[in-house]
Every structure is written in structure tokens, then in C-alpha cells.
Amino acid sequence: MKFNSILLSASVAVGAALALAAPAGAQCQYSVIQWSPWQCVWEGTKSYSAAGLNDLGAWCGRRTACWPEESGLELKDLPIYCPPGGMPQVLPMPAGASTGGAQATAVNNSGVVVGFKYVGASDQYQQGVIWWPDGSVETIPPAKGASTSRANDINTQGVIVGSSGGLPYVLQDGVMTLIPGPDPNGGYALAVSSDGVVTGTYGGMADGRAFRWFEGKLEILPPYGSHLASEGRGVGRNGLIVGISRTFTGSAYISLPTIWRDADAETLPLLPGYTQGGCVGINELGVIIGSNSKPNPGGGNQVVRVIWVDGLVYALSDLLVPGSPSVGEVRRINQAGQMLTTGGPRLWSPTWHSPMDLNGDCAVNGSDLGVLLASWGAPDFDARCDFNGDGAVDGNDLGTLLGEWTVSP
């Protein structure tokens, strides 16, 4: 497959780079911006719920409408878009939405927002919606014979993925392609990378299977070891998939953070003392977000939000600038290393950034050299590696990167 061959060549280049120089092992600190809740006239505050984040820092999501000034006699979800550095604004309500309203789930770098509206007498169906930057709104028609077409993600090229009639779909240039799979209970597509690789899940919690789809080719991704189920939740560059492997022990599900570089599942490390976890997403630099958890002595689980960089796991609470708000549930990470979490929402930004820090770990080291070498002389190079903008990744760019090299402690 195309992405497998690309992945192999990139892996060779990264390996060569890491053999030349060891990473500095640095990790970012993050400053946090938190948005205040919306103030209703009669009902008090209504918090925003964040869902999507683009590479420019724009995010989208929803909030509950205020009664009665926004919703009449019914409470609805209002779709929200927040421009980079701006304030959240309500998107137009799609035509035909039922009393449940609508939600935004993802936004790309062109400002195109996707999500869904509720339809049906009891809000039982979710139909995909596109909010265009010019203010127009478009409904994604369900597949033939279906009532649903929920949209979950959109990439930089405008490719949309979601589910319709219980099957994952890819919507490109207005054409919907369904992805039939092995499970009669159906599935959904959750994420799409800039190079068009799609991931999601077929089946349920007890026996589901993650998948990877690219240019009409479907791969079913098994869980790790003897685990019973897998879920695909995020996709990075060159077909790298992250998610979870799940098994059932006693009366509880146990999950492990899982990565699929090719067809085989590998697990990611956990923080000391933690016994399970899962991945939520990955950016195209290979930085992964998710959570770890362990049982509380008094019952329930203690959960900590984490980030994996260069194969190492960090607790996000340890990386906050002093005085920052606490960590919420992580939802998205973009190519600038910014993370979107619940709790306002909150946007986390690295306090140090250089264009030469290609993997977002607040250091310029062997990992970044690996990213650059993967694009060396390639016609379809990663544009971030062309530091001088001359249309090629070559010795000039290598010299620029080495000039910013972080000294190991």
C-alpha cells in the first residue's frame, strides 16, 4: 500500500537521524487560555463544550441555548465556532433541525466547520452539516436508504468522514463513499489525516475492531495481545493509528493505549503506578494525547491526562505554567502542539516554539532531524521542513535546523 511504503521510508530516515544524535529529552510547558461561560439572562451561565481544533487555534463545539431568549419553549444545542484568538460565536442553525439543535465537531484550516443536526420527532437521527466560511450551511444527504449522516472530522483538503446508516463514510468533492466492514452492527469513521488516511471502529465495546482505510483499501486492526476489542481514535502522518485495546476482567473493562504503525498493535507506556489508559488523538508530528488511570482505594478510578512524545509519557498536570487552570479532558491536538481540553474550554499552547521544532517537544534535536530527512529531496516534501521557502528540502534547511539545535542537559 502507498502509505505503508511511505511509512517505511520515513522510519528508515528517522532511524538514521536518531543514530546521528540523541534527543535532548526536553518537554514543553504549556500556558492555558480559558473561555468564560456564556451568561444567560434568566438561567445563569452556559458552558461551552469543545470538540474540534485546527492548526491555527480555531476551535468548535456547542453550548446549550438560553431559555427563553434563544430557544423559545425548547432547549437546544447551539453549534459554536471560535476564530483564532477570538470569542465563541453561534453558527447558523441548519434548516430542518429538530428541537435537539446542532453541534459542531471539527474545523479545518480554511475555517470549514462540520458536525451534525438532530432530526426526527424525538431527535433520534443525526444528519451531517457543513458550515462554510461564507456563512452558508449545507446538509450532508444520508446514504441511500439511511436516515443518518453524522460528520466527525474534516482534513485540510476538505475530505469529511463520519457515519451514515451504520457504516463509515468518506465524503470528497460531494461524493459519499461508504466503507462496508466485517461487523453486521456497523461502524463509524472518526478521524482523517491530511494525506487521506481514515480511522474508526466497527462493532461495539466488547468485540469491536479498529480500522485503517486509504484509497479504497480497508485494513482491520487487531487489539493488542489477548485483548478482545480495539478502537481507532486518531490518525497521524503516513497511516499511523492510535486508540485503545480493551478486554473484560471480572466486572470491568480494562483498556490499554495502543498504536498501529502497520498491521500489528503495540502498547504505549503508562505512568508509574497506573494500570490502564487510552489514546484520544495524534497530530501529524507523532505527538499523542490521552489518559492513564488506576483504581482508587475507595472505588472508581483516578484519571490523569497525558501526552506521549518520542515514546515517553508525561502527565499534563506536571507541564502547566504555575497558576494555570487545572487539566480538563483532552479532545484534540494540532500541528502547532496546541491542545484543546474541556473546562471552558481550555486551549493549551507551548510556551516555547521554533519553526525547527518539528515534533512539538520544545527542543530541536534528533527527532526533528528525522522529520526533515524523511522529506529530503522528495517532490511531495513536508512544507514545514522548507525553512527558507525555496521549494526544496536540502542542505540549506539542514543547516538552519542544526543552527537551532538544543543542547542536551
Task: Report yes or no on 370 lying in a domain.
Answer: yes
Counting Cα atoms < 13 Å in the Cβ hemisphere of 73 gives 0
Whether residue 409 has pLDDT greater than 70? no
Q: Which of 20, 27, 21 is nearest to 363 (CA)?
A: 27
User: Tell me, what's the pLDDT at 16?
Assistant: 33
Whether residue 350 has pLDDT greater than 90? no
Task: Report yes or no on 187 lying in a domain.
Answer: no
Q: Give pLDDT tens digits for 16-73.
A: 333 333 333 346 789 999 999 999 999 999 999 999 999 999 999 999 999 888 876 5
Whether residue 316 has pLDDT greater than 70? yes
Q: Which of 228, 298, 235 is nearest to 256 (CA)?
A: 228
First to last CA, the chain: 41
Residue 139 has which C-alpha cell? Answer: 446538509
Confidence of residue 3 (pLDDT cuts 50, 70, 90): very low
Q: Which of 57, 56, 5 is nearest to 214 (CA)?
A: 5
Question: What is the chain's percent helix, strand, coil content, to nearest 5?
Answer: 10, 40, 50
Task: Report yes or no on 391 lying in a domain.
Answer: yes
User: Tell me, what's the pLDDT at 387?
Assistant: 92
Task: Report yes or no on 2 lying in a domain.
Answer: no
User: Tell me, what's the pLDDT at 95?
Assistant: 96
User: Tell me, what's the pLDDT at 257?
Assistant: 98
Confidence of residue 81 (pLDDT cuts 50, 70, 90): very high
Query: How many angstroms separate the Cα of 129 from the Cα of each of 12, 71, 99, 170?
Result: 41, 20, 16, 14
102 vs 5 pLDDT, higher one: 102
Q: Are 300 and 294 within 8 A, CB to CB?
A: no
Whether residue 2 has pLDDT greater than 50? no
Task: Report yes or no on 385 lying in a domain.
Answer: yes
Q: Are 99 and 108 within 8 A, CB to CB?
A: no
296 vs 260 pLDDT, higher one: 260
Confidence of residue 407 (pLDDT cuts 50, 70, 90): low
Q: Give pLDDT tens digits for 189-200.
A: 999 999 999 999
User: Tell me, what's the pLDDT at 84?
Assistant: 95
Residue 158 has which C-alpha cell? Answer: 476538505
Q: Are 122 and 143 within 8 A, CB to CB?
A: no
Task: Report yes or no on 14 lying in a domain.
Answer: yes
User: Tell me, what's the pLDDT at 205?
Assistant: 85
Task: Report yes or no on 405 lying in a domain.
Answer: yes
Q: How far apart are CA 261 and CA 221, in angstroms?
A: 10
Which secondary structure element, helix H or strand E, spans residue 254, and what is its range? strand 252-260
Query: At residue 158, what is the residue type?
Result: G
User: Tell me, what's the pLDDT at 283?
Assistant: 93
Task: Report yes or no on 203 lying in a domain.
Answer: no
Q: Are 354 and 404 within 8 A, CB to CB?
A: yes
User: Tell me, what's the pLDDT at 72?
Assistant: 66
Confidence of residue 149 (pLDDT cuts 50, 70, 90): very high
Q: Give pLDDT tens digits for 220-250.
A: 999 999 999 999 999 998 899 999 999 988 7
Percent of the chain topping pLDDT 90: 69
Confidence of residue 9 (pLDDT cuts 50, 70, 90): very low
The CATH number of whichever domain residue 391 belongs to comes to 1.10.1330
The rounded mean pLDDT for the chain is 88
Least confident residue range of 83-87, 169-173, 358-362, 373-377:
358-362
Classify residue 259 by burial, with Cβ atoms within 10 Å: 0-12, 13-18, 19+. Answer: buried
144 vs 20 pLDDT, higher one: 144
Counting Cα atoms < 13 Å in the Cβ hemisphere of 274 gives 23
Q: Are 15 and 55 within 8 A, CB to CB?
A: no
**Domain of 382, in residue numbers:** 8-28+355-409
pTM for this prediction: 0.84
Q: How many domains does the chain have?
A: 1
User: Tell me, what's the pLDDT at 4?
Assistant: 38
Q: How far apart are CA 104 and CA 182, in angstroms?
A: 29
Q: How far apart are CA 191 and CA 155, in angstroms?
A: 9
